[in-house]
Amino acid sequence: MLKTLGYLSIDAFVADVVPEKILTRRPLRIKPAEGFAESELTKRLKEIALKNTVLRSYIGTGYYGTIVPAVIQRNILECPEWYTSYTPYQPEISQGRLESLLNYQTLVTDITGMSIANASLLDEGSAAAEAMLLSFHSTRGKKKTYYVDASVHPQTLACIQSRALVFGIKIVQELPENDKDLFGAVAQYPATDGSVNDWTALSERVHAAGGLFSVASDLLALTVLRPPSEFAADIVFGTSQRFGVPMGYGGPHAAFFAASDSHKRKIPGRLVGVSKDRLGDDAYRLALQTREQHIRREKATSNICTAQALLANMAAMYAVYHGPKGLQAIANRVYTIATILVFALRKLGFEVLNETWFDTITIRTSDADRVLAHAVAQYGINLRKVNNTDVSVSVDETVTKEDLVDLISVELGITGISSAPIPPQFKRQGKILDYKVFNSYHTEAEMLRYIHHLQSKDLSLANSMIPLGSCTMKLNATTQMVALSWPEFGSLHPFLPRDQAKGYTELILELEADLADITGLDATSLQPNSGAQGEYTGLRVIRAYLDATGGSHRRVCLIPVSAHGTNPASAAMAGMKVVPIKCTAQGELDIGDLEVKAVKHKDELAAIMMTYPSTFGVFEPRVRDAIDIVHKYGGQVYMDGANMNAQIGLCSPGDMGVDVCHLNLHKTFCIPHGGGGPGMGPICVKSHLEPFLPGHPVVSMAGDESAAIQPVAAAPWGSASILTISWAYIKLMGGKGITKSTEYALLNANYMAKRLREHYPILYTNAQGRCAHEFIVDVRGMKETADIEAIDVAKRLQDYGFHAPTMSWPVAGTLMIEPTESECLAELDRFCDALISIRQEIRQIENGEQPRENNVLKNSPHSLKDLLTGEWYRPYSREQAAFPLPYLKERKFWPTVTRLDDTYGDLNLFCTCEPPALEPEDLS
């Protein structure tokens, strides 16, 4: 590849890619410098894991023990076809996980009784904040008071308070005497103390005030309890963790979010809907994308850019596997165990504080600390401390008779109660999940085949490279993934005593130090659960610093017009005013315009958000000048770390003068994309911002938290269990290897650009004609010459067995390609050959050999049904449609549907499984 580009050494090549003033090659302090061998890494990781103490945790508060069905663990969580696929923006090659996510939405809507649900959010705390903001915006921000009932989990309350701050929202925990300013309320059902309450009166009061009523709930409980829809809830949210997803010291887990029909176009996050393909067949797609932040930018009411697709799919499959009867049997068993525990404790003379319950009871003791210590020392059980006298116990599906005996400390004839009835005023009536998919696959053989059937419809990194620009789709090493299934990492509750998580603490401290070293910054927070949440957290930290240093009037955030849509959306969520900065015709930041805007807003300048290399795929030579200008006028510099894969070991944000940078662990640091989540977006900061890194209300984190912002996620270290992946990636590579990885990422991109330049215009290169780790292919001119657009090339690539590059971003009508260092020369050439072949097909249209409408690109992709049924009257052969290059006859991935009709899907919004057919008596 170096020879193709005209270089004798990698150093000479890098010198032409990275500007001299930026290229530092500072040696990284990562140990070991040469990296571990895989066997050494596994041994080291097991040493760390064994420092965690796995006890029985009945702490509850949104995190519960669960039994992960082996068929789901092996064939989804541990399966690369599921965990290496991308967000299903190309629906024709994503029908499997789209169907599974539709199952998830159906599960949520049916059990909550609501009209519509999204495809998951990051966690219960951030879902609560989104519910509050939806309620707030429903009154156009005219009302400012939000009631949070005492029933709500403490971490959820803190996340709500955190988000409310920048909007000037007043959070109250006692209902105001006058409701005129009340725009909404939220209550927990069942409550954090375990109580099961009828929230009808509160719902009616909130609605009378013109507000929205939200309910934080539990899917397992709702299989046997009245759904929140019967309280006239407008929004229902919670976590689906206990549907077969390990606690993982806090995550990742899929939060659910459901709403009434009137809010379907305001619901945050992704939404799977049913549409039609070119043949008129039903097909799934992401619906209503125009409401998402990448379209609305600073006008967005949410900055959410991802979901928890892999975990939502696990939860959906858990429900499919158990079915409605199985889920209700689990729920009734949990309720029965809790009921036995109540009777036993009362018989022993304990005061049980809640009169109703599902899985949690709260007990009055003389000394909560003594009880907790005794439970750990004598029985190996973690309970929850509510206050100095009260403790709570939350039981789950993992509890056995022996566990129950230990909980009550004495045998009390517990076999005498086999089933306890739900109180009639709270008992759910009627069927649940009366859909075919939830009543069909209850043996392992059936379940395995269903999972594999869906998997076969989706293209992943197990099939071919996924060259999405700005997405860094690396093929994750298996060794980095194995610890996810270890109970030492998966079975820990996030709120257990810190001395039981010594292994996690060691791993987290090492990862924080390595990330700080890589970025050239001083401190790290691992709490943010996504890149966009990292952006928001970084800006919140900047805002807290400014407020503490007399800069509370500084609220202007400068953002280049080329920035990803999450940047302005996150700035808006952080309460900042967005001022756009122009870019030059060469794709670089317009330094002149930046200085003009900085001078104009010098008294109110808070920050600039910038991506490096730029979103156009080049290292801007004057980035230091931009940083100096912002600092000169009192602002802080935030760097979006989406393109960090082009920097590591060659340059760093801290060395450039950046104050805060977020990182995408699901891009640069090898956490797989999971078909649309999980991800993590930690931030690294300079020392002056360190005191303001997010804290947590339940777990005491390191250092003085007096200046810390309130949490942005429900768990103190976000999705802690997948931190093992990024830790393993860094330790496998070592300081030298991870630098070499960056060089190969740059080399792969420039090699591909060189090959394709003869066939397509390449936008935005530097003075030496080089790109960074990604580049933009310009197909806009083909609209005039052949009526071919970027979407036609993208869909035709599916026929060649490839996922499309990033389409129409950052430049409309173009394709942005990022190969990453993971791909070998043969795969790079295979993709280039496909694009070159497509260019020849376009030339046939330009030359008049093929029509401008009914051609192989306009009709792409071609499914088997499209090719094999009916008469063939097209001006190209079936073979040309299916096998345009020889390798496809041996190695072919088939799209299972033809091109989708996006307009039909949005105009005919349908976001659940097909409902069961009505019985004859229902039709009469």
**Domain boundary assignment for the chain:** 29-54+485-729, 86-304, 734-889
| Residue 919 pLDDT grade (very low, low, confident, very high; cuts 50, 70, 90) | low
What is the pLDDT at residue 563?
Answer: 81
Q: How far apart are the first and last CA of the chain?
A: 73
Tokens of 903: 């307009």
Residue 905, CA atoms < 13 Å, CB-side half-sphere: 25
Whether the predicted pLDDT of 290 surpasses 80 = no
Whether the predicted pLDDT of 152 surpasses 90 = yes
Percent residues over pLDDT 90 in the chain:
89
Helix count and strand count (H, E) for the chain? 31, 26
Whether the predicted pLDDT of 904 surpasses 90 = no
Residue 122, CA atoms < 13 Å, CB-side half-sphere: 31
Region 305-330: what's the mean pLDDT?
96
What is the pLDDT at residue 921?
Answer: 52
Q: Which residue has the higher pLDDT, 892 or 918?
A: 892
Amino acid at 464: S
Whether the predicted pLDDT of 299 surpasses 80 = no
> At 488, is the secondary structure helix, strand, or coil?
helix
Q: Same CATH topology for 29-54+485-729 and 86-304? A: yes
| Per-residue DSSP letter, 150 | T
| Residue 923 pLDDT grade (very low, low, confident, very high; cuts 50, 70, 90) | very low
| Residue 292 pLDDT grade (very low, low, confident, very high; cuts 50, 70, 90) | low
Rounded distance, CA 186 to CA 202, Å? 9
What is the pLDDT at residue 157?
Answer: 98
Query: What's the distance, CA 85 to chain centroid?
Result: 13
pLDDT tens readout for residues 643-676: 999 999 999 999 999 999 999 999 999 999 999 9
What is the pLDDT at residue 915?
Answer: 77
pLDDT tens readout for residues 24-79: 999 999 999 999 999 999 999 999 999 999 999 999 999 999 999 999 999 999 99
Q: Which residues pair with 904 in a beta bridge?
A: none
86-304 is classed CATH 3.40.630.30: no
Rounded distance, CA 159 to CA 121, Å? 14
Strand order in the sheet with 660-663: 523-525, 683-685, 660-663, 636-641, 605-611, 556-560, 577-581
Strand order in the sheet with 775-778: 762-763, 775-778, 814-817, 806-807
Whether the predicted pLDDT of 3 surpasses 60 = yes
Convert 246-258 to b/e letters by CB count within 10 Å (16 or more is b): bbbbbbbbbbbbb
Whether the predicted pLDDT of 787 surpasses 90 = yes
Rounded distance, CA 795 to CA 90, Å? 8
Count CB-CB contacts under 10 A for residue 894. Answer: 18
Helix (H) or strand (E) holding 806: strand 806-807
Region 695-715: what's the mean pLDDT?
92
Q: Which residue has the higher pLDDT, 413 or 790?
A: 790
What is the pLDDT at residue 295?
Answer: 55
What is the pLDDT at residue 412?
Answer: 38
Percent residues over pLDDT 70 in the chain:
97
734-889 is classed CATH 1.10.287.130: no
| Residue 302 pLDDT grade (very low, low, confident, very high; cuts 50, 70, 90) | confident
Tokens of 404: 């129950």
Strand duo 605-611 + 556-560: pairing: parallel
What is the pLDDT at residue 410?
Answer: 34
pLDDT tens readout for residues 277-289: 999 999 999 998 6
Region 398-412: what's the mean pLDDT?
77
CA distances from 909 to 68, 281, 289, 918 (A): 33, 16, 12, 21
CA distances from 715 to 498, 521, 631 (A): 13, 24, 34
pLDDT tens readout for residues 711-721: 999 999 999 99
**For the chain, what is the mean pLDDT?**
94
Task: Answer for the pair 659, 637: CB distance below 8 angstroms, yes or no.
Answer: yes
Rounded distance, CA 487 to CA 492, Å? 8
Task: Answer for the pair 672, 466: CB distance below 8 angstroms, yes or no.
Answer: no
Q: Which residue has the tokens 């992960």?
A: 68
Phi-psi region of 472 (alpha: psi -120 to 50; beta: other; left: phi over 0): left
| Residue 909 pLDDT grade (very low, low, confident, very high; cuts 50, 70, 90) | confident
Rounded distance, CA 426 to CA 190, Å? 11
Q: Can you name the CATH fold of 29-54+485-729?
A: Aspartate Aminotransferase; domain 2 (3.40.640)
| Per-residue DSSP letter, 915 | P
Which are the contacts of 836, defined by CB distance < 8 A and separation ≥ 6? 755, 756, 759
What is the pLDDT at residue 411?
Answer: 34
| Per-residue DSSP letter, 608 | E
Whether the predicted pLDDT of 417 surpasses 60 = no
Region 581-609: what's the mean pLDDT?
94
Count CB-CB contacts under 10 A for residue 741. Answer: 19
Whether the predicted pLDDT of 414 surpasses 90 = no
Whether the predicted pLDDT of 924 surpasses 50 = no
Which are the contacts of 249, defined by CB distance < 8 A and separation ≥ 6? 489, 492, 493, 494, 501, 504, 715, 717, 720, 721
Region 586-613: what's the mean pLDDT?
95
| Residue 407 pLDDT grade (very low, low, confident, very high; cuts 50, 70, 90) | confident
Task: Answer for the pair 572, 298: CB distance below 8 angstroms, yes or no.
Answer: yes
Q: Is the pTM of this model over 0.75?
A: yes
What is the pLDDT at residue 475?
Answer: 87
What is the pLDDT at residue 418?
Answer: 59
